[in-house]
Structure 1
Amino acid sequence: FIVLALCCSFFSSRATPLPFEFSDCDDPDVFKAVDAALKKYNGDRATGNQFALYMVMEAKKTAGPDAQFHVKYQIRETTCAAEENKLWQDCDYKVSADAKTGECTAQVHMNNAEKTSNVSQDCKIFPDMPKITLTQATCLGCFHPISSDSSVVSEILKQAIQKFNKHSAEPALFKLVEIKEAKRQTVAGWNYAIKYEIEETNCSKDQFQDLTPECKTTSRG
């Protein structure tokens, strides 16, 4: 009677997942993975507008011919309707104030031999920015336009030109030609800012102490 003892060893084999490594967001392979993920997202939309890539924020991939990608990317709503079946690259962004935005996290497995991809992703879409209504309020302490025909402006310019004629080194008197702008600021009192143009007249300082109706502007300006 012979007893045979057989010792069998069983080896359990489990494939160790390849580690992800950070990749350049400008890597063409990363773009292919994001393109596949975004096309799937747009293809699953039955209504509304398509979304286009706005920015790749993070990219990781495994080594090997059939790489797996982990990508985070931002998308923005376009003017192309979902049912148009256009490529997102051919669509224009909607105006920023009216456009929805989104952020997607995707796992993409690329099979280069069969030129296929398997995508698992989650996208969060944010509504368009609320429209802001602008209202204009009076700025206290700011200069505000006033009429250039007011008697106050006329009196200020009369005194300013008299002072200029008295203290300038010019041989002839100058007179007002045009008031270009007049502003007033309210503080403890009033401050005035006036832009005006003067021209030389035919009245010399030797003969005239101040402007008279006889003083006319000359062609010399």
Structure 2
Amino acid sequence: GKAPILKAYFPCIGCVHAISTDSPDLEPVLKHSIEHFNNNTGHSHLFTLREVKSAHRQVVAGLNFDITYTIVQTNCSKERFLSLHGDCVALPNGDDGECRGNLFMDIKNKIANFSQSCTLYSGDDLVEALPKPCPGCPRDIPVDSPELKEVLGHSIAQLNAENDHPFYFKIDTVKKATSQVVAGTKYVIEFRARETKCSKESNTELTEDCEIKHLGQSLDCNANVYMRPWENKVVPTVKCQALDMTEMARRPPGFSPFRSVTVQETKEGRTDSDFIEDVVAITPPYDTGAPDDLIPDIHVQPDSLSFKLISDFPEATSPKCPGRPWKPASWKDPNTETTEFSDFDLLDALS
């Protein structure tokens, strides 16, 4: 017999071969294909890859790729975003489509030729709000964040440059801060500034050791700071409103209106006990059940107090001593009646 015949099979190097849809070789091909679609369509939103359905490759003086893939609409609008990034997510009810592309990559791995055709299918109307995180939306920053140090420095420098006050102001409290990415970064800050002891006449600039003046002026401020670090560009704007000093001075608990009353100048020879006698005398006494001759007659001088009772005070009722009711006494006009004064000391009676 005849010996078996051996046949050798050699792969067709220049033939078209199917490759895995997960092949890393497809990454630059798919990236270029989707960017081409987003840049050459009139759709309002950017699209991203959904699925690679098939992929073929051919070795020539370079590589030919033939791919079929599907795309889906994302939440990133072209009005706000120039290209896809990590925060762009597919919308479940957005438009979708299918594309077939042919790409030639030369021996230097550069794309030398590309063509593709896509068909879009309309989805439900876009009614969903942009999901968080939203890169172009303002985001809150902790008021003690180190990120704010430079921004606050620009803000207070702008405030002191525009303010004609003879003393420098210093940031005392940061109330709120946000940042927003807008071809740079825009910071919006609310803060309170306080007057310091450092005068502009004797100091060229505000320094860290400038102390806040205890009774100095206070300002409520809103600052907008636009920064483009790669251009060394900073544009701060600051608007402030002066706080009334009465807003800063709060009445402590239990503060009585009588504490702020200025006592009229007493005549020479009058003492504090004389003033106490006047205060006690204006309250009509009640019968205590004790003999009347124990309590001397007290003459009242009209308008002897330096303050007037006002309507929103508690009812001007007489204080009651425990266990001893009081009754009003008849008033005597010191101009028409005279009564012999006693050497009895009223303070002894009260003790």
TM-score by length of 2: 0.33
TM-score by length of 1: 0.50
- In proportion to residue count, which structure has more strand? 1
Which structure's CA Rg is the greater one? 2
